[in-house]
A = this chain, B = another copy of it.
Amino acid sequence: MSNSANTTLIPAELMQDVFEKILLENGMPHDRSLSCAEIFTQNSIDGVYTHGVNRFPRFVQYLRDGYIVADAEPTLAHKFGGIEQWDGNLAPGPINALFATDRALELAHAHGIACVSLANTNHWMRGGTYGWKAAKAGFIFIGWTNTIANMPAWGALDAKLGNNPFVMAIPYGDEAIVLDMAMSQYSFGALEQAAMKAETLPVPGGYNAAGELSTDPAGILETGRSIPIGFWKGAGFSLLLDILATILSGGASTHELSKTKVEYGVSQVFIAIDPQKLGNHAAIARMLEDIIQDYHASLPMNEKQKISFPGERILATRTRNLAQGIPVLQKVWAEIEGLMSM
């Protein structure tokens, strides 16, 4: 989102205060109003507006509609060694996901590796949030969520697969390398935005009405046939992520979730590994630095474009948005202000 005529710059502190106030007014306990406000604000600071400020009104609507239960707490269903299965009891997704991440780190500290799963939880917003948190605490993180069906299987016409975002994170100095990728080549939001601006996609994003791979976002939205990353490969990956989230958590699958129009009660997995248990930390840091240096030494196609690792460009956005304010569409900010009582 660029800072143009119809956007306004909102300071991060103001955004967080407004979010917190609205959540308190909607029955969310004080500590988790603050946590959720921080997460929605941080996602916006980092430039992930779709799972930050732009998503906030829908989050509040789901609280009001009871799809998200403001004060619910997760309860333990099963545990054995480094694995635990929790019922999220439809508590706010970011609160459950923070809890599960913390629990995975505690268990990984004790067992070297751990897997915490959540059934009946809600949209975690940006999966990277939990990857950054784990990595900045010194842990390796692998996690994913299922979603409602929004993508056809490879060779199919109707959506049976979720885009099931998948996250991998690695500590890197004081920061992190964080891969946060959905299984669809483009999100619905990205296709909509490109269609609105009449842009052509840089790579094919789905099928048009003629059944051809297409870079026309409007045509893809018309058929609803977006493509998985790597075509048949991402379709398979999406299916396995859904199966694993479902059987590890004992929760709802993409198929079950898709029986209602509203996406709630999803299944999630949080795996953490404690690399401190593998000795020689200086050597690990050196290996990582060698890999990143070599990667950065890639010859770019376009001399002006730096080759970045996943998560790297977020740091620049973060710095800019903290200094200048977060660019928000004026109509989105007006809607959010409208959620506050006087």
Residues of B with C-beta under 8 A to A254: 291
Residues of B with C-beta under 8 A to A160: 294-295, 297-298
A243 pairs with B115, CB closer than 8 A = no
A173 at the interface (CB under 8 A from B): no
Cα A152 to Cα B294 with chains together (Å): 12
Tell me which of A248, A254, A295 has the highest count of chain B C-beta atoms within 10 A of its own C-beta: A295
A295 pairs with B230, CB closer than 8 A = no
**Residues of A bordering B, CB below 8 Å:** 77-78, 80-83, 85, 110-115, 140, 142, 152-158, 160-161, 168, 170, 177, 179, 181, 185, 203-204, 211, 213, 228-231, 233-234, 236-237, 239-240, 242-244, 246-248, 250, 253-256, 271, 273-275, 277-280, 283-284, 287-288, 290-291, 294-295, 297-302, 305, 307, 309-310
Q: Which residue on B lies nearest to A241, using beta carbons?
A: B168
Residues of B with C-beta under 8 A to A256: 290
* Residue from the list B211, B236, B302 in contact with A301, Cβ < 8 A: B211
* Residue from the list B82, B236, B243, B250 in contact with A82, Cβ < 8 A: B82
CB distance from A237 to the nearest CB of B (A): 6
A255 pairs with B157, CB closer than 8 A = no
Residues of B with C-beta under 8 A to A234: 229-230
Q: Is the interface of A mostly helix, strand, loop or mixed?
A: mixed
B113 pairs with A81, CB closer than 8 A = yes
Cα A247 to Cα B78 with chains together (Å): 31
B177 pairs with A278, CB closer than 8 A = no
A115 pairs with B112, CB closer than 8 A = yes
Cα A311 to Cα B82 with chains together (Å): 29
Residues of B with C-beta under 8 A to A291: 239, 242-243, 246, 253-255
B240 pairs with A170, CB closer than 8 A = yes
Cα A28 to Cα B314 with chains together (Å): 51
* Residue from the list B110, B255, B288, B310 in contact with A294, Cβ < 8 A: B255
* Residue from the list B81, B228, B290 in contact with A112, Cβ < 8 A: B81
* Residue from the list B152, B158, B229, B279 in contact with A233, Cβ < 8 A: B229
Known: A80-B277, A247-B275, A255-B294. 12 other contacts (CB 8 A): A80-B112, A81-B277, A82-B112, A155-B300, A156-B300, A157-B301, A160-B294, A161-B295, A179-B239, A185-B230, A229-B231, A230-B234
